[in-house]
Amino acid sequence: MSGEARGRRVVVTGAGSGIGRAVAARLLDEGASVVAMDLAPDHSAAGDADGRLLPVRCDVRDESSVSAAFDTASEFLGGMDGLVTCAGVTDGSPTAEMTLQSWETVLGVNLTGTFLCVRAALPSLLDGEDPAVVTVGSVGSLVAAGRSPAYDASKGGVLALTRGLAAEYADRGLRANCVCPGLVDTGLAGNSSARAGLDPVARSGVPGRVVPPIRRAAAPTEIADVVTFLLSSRASFVTGAAYPVDGGYSAV
């Protein structure tokens, strides 16, 4: 590893599994200190990180939980230079069958949860070194990914929130970018494809958009690579961007 995140102080939400877990692991490998937040925080890497990892329980839907978790994070890290918002859920119900409760759960975790975490992190980030936010959207932020209107609406909102943040805080040195993955081989994709009774790759799209040009799902580490780049000073002129990491899905 190059050590490109050495000394960076980063909070990752949704770090208990999947993409968030891969991001936290990659940042630790690259020398960052990481607070890994989740409903069920993962302690498995704590022994290997020389005291640079703190798993913290946080429910991103809950304002007081977020506030307490970010207070703990700022204290542990001694400030904050980066935030990666990976916590997310999906629901594959078609519009006509979607309950209000499902809609509110998906919007609550994916969109409101992103807002609450960004808001809680901002005071520390604005005092940080080359501060950067990376939100995790989806191809559903860019195109109709199909099968979940709530999910696509939430992820469209995440991209809009990220662009707004980039515009609002550029003059204070904060960069904000949105990574938009296609299908990634995680619990979230596996669960939804299992519910739909479909193979994860075959599932990837609305009718007529069957598989991405790169004919497979991504590994979580392939998303973590791009997140790590966007957090780093190598991305110093990149802000307000939607970054597809989707095997070409949104290009065709």
Ligand X SMILES: NC(=O)c1ccc[n+]([C@@H]2O[C@H](COP(=O)([O-])OP(=O)(O)OC[C@H]3O[C@@H](n4cnc5c(N)ncnc54)[C@H](O)[C@@H]3O)[C@@H](O)[C@H]2O)c1
Site for ligand X, rule CB under 6 A = 13-14, 16-20, 38-40, 58-61, 86-89, 109-110, 113, 136, 138, 181, 183-184, 186-189
Q: Is 249 a catalytic residue?
A: no
CB of 249 to ligand X, least distance (A): 10
Q: Considering the complex, state which of residue 129 and residue 225 has its C-beta at the smaller distance from ligand X.
A: 225
Cβ–Cβ < 8 Å for 99, 105: no
Sheet with 82-85: strands ordered across: 53-57, 33-38, 9-13, 82-85, 132-136, 175-181, 242-245
CB of 117 to ligand X, least distance (A): 9
CB of 10 to ligand X, least distance (A): 16
Q: Considering the complex, state which of residue 77 and residue 136 has its C-beta at the smaller distance from ligand X.
A: 136
> What DSSP character marks residue 250?
G
Residue of 151, 169, 243, 249 with catalytic role? 151
Q: Considering the complex, state which of residue 17 and residue 67 has its C-beta at the smaller distance from ligand X.
A: 17
**H helices present in the chain, as ranges:** 18-29, 63-77, 100-107, 113-126, 149-169, 187-196, 220-231
CB of 219 to ligand X, least distance (A): 11
Phi and psi at 89, nearest 5°, equal -135, 165
Q: Considering the complex, state which of residue 36 and residue 125 has its C-beta at the smaller distance from ligand X.
A: 36
Catalytic residues, by residue number, are 151
